[in-house]
Structure formats: structure tokens, C-alpha cells
Structure 1
């Protein structure tokens, strides 16, 4: 598959509705593979904060649940959605649960691995990918980089523009 950019892909939401990323064309994105039972799960709070602060400036935060690492997202869509809302007030879009690694990986994650190189492929939950307004990969960050980290904030500044507090 020869995709031009991240906006060439689609998912379904947790509710089963189509979620074509082309609807976000022209907007910067932060794509994160997520899990509800992971040591990094509290990062949902920081992701929600980014969404609240930067969505008015165009940023799309997209959570992509996956059970590929340590069986840390075993639940169904309804349970995942309720968990995210109840515990972290998540309001940003969350996709259906998909695979993010291996031969069964969702095509977006295969594309991200091609664009960013072998080390950019998720090796655990909460890998983060910054997508420019033109849909190209700007940069990626491992699980240990929290949403408030200076490196990630610099990347967001690059793709969103000047930000509050910066």
C-alpha cells in the first residue's frame, strides 16, 4: 500500500462508526497507541490536557487502543470508553481496538514504521506520533516521554505553532 500521508487511513470509533482520518486533513495530529491497564495509562490525563489546550488551534489527539503489549487492553469498546471518560475525562477521539505491531498491525502503524524507521514501531503502549498539517510524520516518541515533556512540547510547537506558556 502506497499511502501519501496519515490522512490516507481510516479506523472505526469505539462505537463502530467510520473514522476517516482525511476529515482531519490540514490539522496537526498527535496519535498515541493506548492501553487501560498499563503503567503509562495516567498519560491519558496529559493527553486530555493537550487536547483541551490545543484543539482550538487545530490539534487532533487520537487515541488508538491496542492489546498488543502485556494484555493491557483486554476489554471491549464500551468498557474502554467508560474507563477513559470516568478516570481521565477523555474527550478526544478514540478508535476501535487494533493491532499496532506485527503482520496484523493496522495499516497506519505499518506506514508510521516505514516513515520513521524500525525504531519508530511501537514496542510498548503510549508511543506518540506527531503528524504535520500536510499529513507527514514529523517525529515520534517512546512510552517514557510523557505528554508534558519538553521534547514533545517542542515538537507540538513545530506542528501547531506558538503555544500557551511557550
Structure 2
């Protein structure tokens, strides 16, 4: 159930390449969340908002090649460090592939910011949608198993977040 904000400068991609890219990015996120990208119900709640920056500046000057920003938002507990790394790598490759050689194949022009929405803050259908409700689809509506899975994922996410190095860590 990802929500995606994808920033693509106007004219950066051919229309058919852009449409294929947006579908591919949606599939990438669905897959990393553990759902089937071919499932029509899953796809119906996977929204992508396309943003068209009027211009992108680098160092105060207009960019010499397109720059892209992708912000996938998922409920807390859906993406551990390995999945986030996979999302970043796969989305970057998808964008570079979509350019089809029109621009230098430079991953430095692409930023991907996977964002977890804290438990109790994911809203849809006019109400809070807890992770257990979302995961019930993965467990064939076994609500006890979905609650256990949600608790495990959220606990792992919070443990990982608290064990990350602080701002003084070397890059």
C-alpha cells in the first residue's frame, strides 16, 4: 500500500517511457512491501503522485541534465534496512533505464527517500489504518497472525532506527 511522490522535470522522458517507469516504480514498492504487484486490490491502493518541477537548480544554476526525486511512503515496519537499500537501488536503475541513453547514466542525478509513516498515522478510508489491518491480506485474513506480524515488523523497525549511528558518524 505505498504512496509515492515522484518528481520528474517536464520533458525529461518520452511519454511512453515515463508511463512505463511509473508503473515499474509502483511494482517495485509493492514487491518490497511483500505484496503481489499483479493483485488488482493491492494496485488499487497503491497511489503515485507525479510532480512536475518548473525547474531544478544545482548549486544555484539550472541543472544541465534532469534530476529526479522519489519519496515512497509506507506504513512503519514495512521496509527494513535491506529493503530500503533495495528500493533505492531498483528505483534508481528504473529511472536510468527509462532515460534510454538520452542523458548520461549517472545515478548521482537521482535521490530516493523511503519514508516510514509511524504506526497510528497511516490514514485511509476516513480512518487510521494500522499495519495489522494492512497485513491481514498477507495472512489470508488471519487477524491474529497479522497482529503478530505487524508487532514484529514495527518492533524491528524501531530497534533498527534506535541503533543507527548518530549525526557524527563518518560517511
Q: TM-score, normalised by structure 2?
A: 0.29
Which has the bigger relative contact order, CA under 8 A and spacing at least 6?
A: 1
